[in-house]
Amino acid sequence: MTGRPGRFITLEGGEGVGKSTQLAALATALRARGIDLIVTREPGGSEGAEAIRRLLLEGDAGRWGPRAEALLFAAARADHLEKTILPALAAGQWVLSDRYLDSSRAYQSGASGLEDADILTLHRIGSEGRLPDRTLLLQLPEAEATRRASLRDRGDSDRIGGRDAAYHARVAAAFAQYAAGDPQRFRAIDATGAPDAVTARLLDALADLTP
Ligand SMILES: Nc1ncnc2c1ncn2[C@@H]1O[C@H](COP(=O)(O)OP(=O)(O)OP(=O)(O)O)[C@@H](O)[C@H]1O
Ligand SMILES: Cc1cn([C@H]2C[C@H](O)[C@@H](COP(=O)(O)O)O2)c(=O)[nH]c1=O
């Protein structure tokens, strides 16, 4: 126990925006400021949720329809929250998560056509509607995101990352819309430029929460 409240921070964005790179850099910078934290990810972050991750991301494009996919993401999130996120917060740790609810809103609703209200209902049932204290949305121009995603995947993208450009454009537009609708929780971060410059922007966006 640190005596200070744990904070729940999520990093969101489309493919290739640099979430993994920035999560690692942010964790290092926050630890250097004396913050005790864990780094986690979705889908995954607990034993059960990692098993669901494999179901979701491996296999044929048509393995799951949009509804089954949304239910699986919600089930994985429920386990992740219960087994990993809530215990860490209760112990006073910060939790930095690579993706969370807003990815389901952007991918399964905004891009796949389910209702946002239905995704939020699944979240209420599965995860008591728990929201992050701050959501950092990394944003890149489409061409740069595509370039970085292909560097990352080297021709071997997963079931969802491999969807077409129009799908990923809808994901990016949905993220932007959700961020604009909730400026208290979201901060939109320009992810262009050198990694260190992006990390500095992320730290600025957490300045009101850091000790
Ligand atoms: N600021 C940056 N400038 C140039 N290249 C970057 C930058 N940040 C990350 N990259 C590169 O872009 C690719 C994608 O980065 P990364 O894996 O961090 O992002 P992501 O796709 O959002 O994360 P995830 O793997 O969690 O989906 C990697 O090859 C990484 O080295
Ligand atoms: C949490 C979550 C994720 N997705 C998608 C987004 C990505 O294509 C993959 C995860 O891969 P990453 O390299 O680990 O980012 O899953 C989704 O569609 N819905 C979600 O709720």
State residue 3's pLDDT score: 67
Give this complex's ipTM. Answer: 0.96
Note the pTM of the prediction, 2 decimals: 0.97
Q: Which atom of ligand 1 has the smallest separation from the CA of 192?
A: 1
Question: Which whole-number Å values give the CA distances from 95 to 30, 48, 51, 129, 165, in the listed order?
Answer: 11, 18, 21, 17, 32
Ligand 2 centre from 22 Cα, in Å? 16
User: Cα of 148 to ligand 1 centre, how many Å?
Assistant: 6
pLDDT of residue 2: 53
Residue 83 assigned ligand-binding role = no
Mind listing the pLDDT tens digit for each residue in 11-38?
A: 999 999 999 999 999 999 999 999 999 9
Query: Low-confidence residues of the chain, pLDDT below 70?
Result: 1-3
20 lines ligand 1 (CB under 6 A): yes
Residues with CB under 6 A from ligand 2: 41-43, 57, 73, 99, 103-104, 107-108, 160-161
Residue 17 annotated as part of some ligand binding site: yes
Query: pLDDT value at position 27?
Result: 98
Residue 15 marked ligand-binding: yes
Q: Which CATH number fits domain 8-204: 1.10.580.10, 3.40.50.300, 3.90.1170.50, 1.10.3720.10?
A: 3.40.50.300
Domain ranges of the chain: 8-204
Task: Report the C-alpha gap between 107 and 189 in whole angstroms.
Answer: 19
